[in-house]
Amino acid sequence: MNIIDELNEQLKNSSTQEVIEFFLNQYRSKVALASSLGAEDQVLTDIIFKIDKSSKVFTLDTGRLNPETYDVMDATNLKYGVKLDVYFPNLDKVEQLYQTQGINGHFESIDNRKKCCNIRKIEPLKRALKNLDVWFTGLRSSQSITREDMKLVEWDEAFKLIKVNPLINWSEKDVWDYIKANSVPYNKLHDKGYPSIGCAPCTRAVKDGEDIRAGRWWWENPEHKECGLHKK
């Protein structure tokens, strides 16, 4: 049995708080939450800072976020008395991207979109994860067809570290019940029909009955709707 299987077996009956506390205690400065500042990650931020306010929580500023996303970043810093770590894309690569595909070239092809995601998200994430052994994510199995088979603990081959999904079995109702019960700051776009929020040009509100990830890269087929951060 490898370490991933051992961890899944060891933690299979643990609560979300117990899972997070286990990894914070075992890996200390080598574990962090990668936060999109969406509802799920705000839940994890609250749980983590209640356990240890010195824990590392970081986010990626792609340069194309909604104003509401910056608002929740500020509200989070103020509520917990912290400063979230923020990673930006490489300036030269962004300038080159604009020269080759323009400001909205990501709409023209999947390759263009993935190139944009790589420069704005994947490369900064690699820098953020460089010295870590474990990262927490807010992924839930019911979010999309690309996430149905994810487990609590996984080996992330792309980034060569352990990935922990503490909310993997949570429902959307669980998330919002926690936010309301604990007065957790959240992105106000959620109140306007945005269940999943990324970069402004690549995110829209969803209609009643649509999948919760339908507003992300809505011009693409569902099986393509990952930026590469959580590629299997």
Q: Which residues are catalytic?
A: 227
Question: Which distant-in-sequence residues (6+ apart) come within 8 Å of 127 by Cβ?
Answer: 87
Angle at 32 between CA 29 and CA 38, to 5 degrees: 160
Q: By C-alpha distance, which of 226, 90, 58 is closest to 147? A: 226
Contacts 24+ apart (CB under 8 A), 168-172: 168/139, 168/140, 168/141, 169/140, 169/141, 170/16, 170/40, 170/140, 171/140, 171/142, 172/140, 172/142, 172/212
CA 79 to chain centre: 20
- For the chain, counts of helices (H) and of strands (E): 8, 6
Beta strands, E only, 10-87: 31-35, 56-60, 85-87
Q: How many C-beta neighbours within 10 Å does residue 63 have?
A: 12
From the CA atom positions of the chain, what is the Rg in Å? 17
Quote the tokens at residue 70.
């910056």
| Structure-token match 């506390």, residue found | 21
Quote the tokens at residue 71.
């608002």
